[in-house]
């Protein structure tokens, strides 16, 4: 009998995770069941406990339950501990539930392995200071960028986040007025503005002729941030679909002990989105 996996979220209707993990399983010769489950807010702990008590082997967790998954786990990886959030739960051999966060690994692998971008030695700007940023900071800083600056509409949130992760590398934070005439080699949009079709208020001189711009959200059409980057002649621009597939690949590896190839799966999901 195949092992049971699921993704819990709300909303969850348009989740790509079932298609991604089905592709991984077929590629790797693994027998699994994987489904998307909409969980009511306030009901995550009960639903997760029931899932594991009835034989569930692993869960992916998306918004708005990553912090609840952090509290639910019996044991945490160091990545998850630093992030304060969990997107991957797995049942260990001793019956305990282990929590991990694969978002940062997904971001870094997409940039470096798939896109061929360089993080080491680069000046990095991160737009936003919410949970999405907290989840990727530690793996990103392990790539040894020259500096990372977090900018946020509420400067105090960016400054606090920078202080929390200061032991991981050269990190600072502030408001948009702190950007001044500074330029960056890599700009990562992790703000929620793009979900509402809005664009962060960025200086036009932010980019160099070799700057790469990455939006952590994705869609069939370019996001407002991607359009801004292209308009300002960024050297390379990408959305976050590759990050989605790469973080799922890391979850699959944690659960099954095999690492799927991701390039073809990214292409398949992209084609399906464009055809929808």
% of the chain beyond a pLDDT of 90? 92
If asked whether residues 173 and 116 sit together in one domain, one would say yes
pLDDT tens-digit readout, 18-71: 999 999 999 999 999 999 999 999 999 999 999 999 999 999 999 999 999 999
pTM: 0.95
If asked whether residues 134 and 31 sit together in one domain, one would say no
CATH code of 210's domain: 3.40.50.720
If asked whether residues 144 and 252 sit together in one domain, one would say no
Task: Give yes or no for residue 1 having a pLDDT over 70.
Answer: no
Give the structural domain span for 270.
Answer: 3-100+242-275
Task: Give yes or no for residue 193 having a pLDDT over 90.
Answer: no
Note the pLDDT of residue 199.
Answer: 79
Top-confidence residue, 21 or 194:
21
Long-range contacts of 110-115 (CB under 8 A, 24+ apart): 110/238, 110/240, 110/242, 110/243, 110/245, 110/246, 111/186, 111/212, 111/214, 111/238, 112/143, 113/246, 114/242, 114/246, 114/262, 114/263, 114/266, 115/212, 115/236, 115/238, 115/242
If asked whether residues 222 and 270 sit together in one domain, one would say no
Note the pLDDT of residue 204.
Answer: 84
**What is the arithmetic mean of pLDDT over 231-242?**
96
**Catalytic sites, residue numbers:** 66
If asked whether residues 7 and 96 sit together in one domain, one would say yes
Give the residue numbers of the binding site for shikimate.
15-17, 62, 87, 103, 218, 247
Number of domains observed in the structure of the chain: 2
Q: How many CA atoms lie within 13 A of 63 on its CB side?
A: 9
pLDDT band for 192, please (50, 70, 90 cuts). Answer: confident
Task: Give yes or no for residue 2 having a pLDDT over 80.
Answer: yes
Note the pLDDT of residue 195.
Answer: 65
Note the pLDDT of residue 155.
Answer: 97
If asked whether residues 62 and 130 sit together in one domain, one would say no
Note the pLDDT of residue 201.
Answer: 79
If asked whether residues 188 and 113 sit together in one domain, one would say yes
CATH code of 269's domain: 3.40.50.10860
Q: Give the DSSP H or E segment for 249.
A: helix 241-256
**What is the arithmetic mean of pLDDT over 139-148?**
97
If asked whether residues 233 and 148 sit together in one domain, one would say yes
pLDDT tens-digit readout, 146-185: 999 999 999 999 999 999 999 999 999 999 999 999 999 9
If asked whether residues 199 and 112 sit together in one domain, one would say yes
- Helix 263-275 crosses helix 17-28 at what angle (to 10 degrees)? 140
If asked whether residues 110 and 170 sit together in one domain, one would say yes
Note the pLDDT of residue 200.
Answer: 77
If asked whether residues 70 and 112 sit together in one domain, one would say no
If asked whether residues 125 and 218 sit together in one domain, one would say yes
């Amino acid at each position: 009998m195949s092992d049971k996996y699921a993704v819990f979220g709300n909303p969850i209707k348009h989740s790509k995770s079932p298609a991604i993990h089905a592709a991984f399983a077929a590629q790797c010769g693994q027998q699994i069941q994987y489904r998307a489950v909409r969980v009511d807010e306030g009901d995550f702990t009960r639903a997760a406990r029931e899932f594991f008590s009835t034989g569930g082997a692993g869960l992916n967790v998306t918004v708005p339950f990553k912090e609840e998954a952090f509290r639910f786990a019996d044991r945490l990886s160091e990545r998850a501990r630093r992030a304060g959030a969990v997107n991957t739960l797995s049942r260990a051999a001793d019956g305990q539930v282990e929590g991990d966060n694969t978002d940062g690994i997904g971001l870094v692998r997409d940039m470096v392995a798939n896109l061929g971008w360089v993080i080491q030695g680069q000046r990095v700007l991160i737009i936003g200071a919410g949970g999405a940023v907290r989840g990727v900071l530690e793996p990103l800083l392990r790539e040894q960028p020259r500096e990372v600056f977090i900018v946020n509409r509420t400067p105090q949130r960016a400054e606090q986040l920078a202080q929390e992760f200061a032991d991981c590398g050269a990190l600072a934070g502030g408001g948009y007025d702190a950007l001044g005439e500074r330029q960056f080699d890599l700009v990562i949009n992790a703000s929620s503005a793009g979900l509402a079709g809005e664009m962060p208020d960025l200086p036009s001189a932010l980019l160099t002729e070799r700057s790469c711009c990455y939006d952590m959200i994705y869609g069939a059409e370019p996001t407002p941030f991607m359009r801004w980057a292209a308009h300002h002649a960024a050297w390379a621009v990408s959305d976050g679909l590759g990050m989605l597939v790469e973080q799922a690949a890391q979850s699959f590896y944690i659960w099954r002990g095999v690492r799927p190839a991701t390039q073809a799966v990214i292409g398949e999901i992209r084609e399906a989105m464009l055809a929808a």
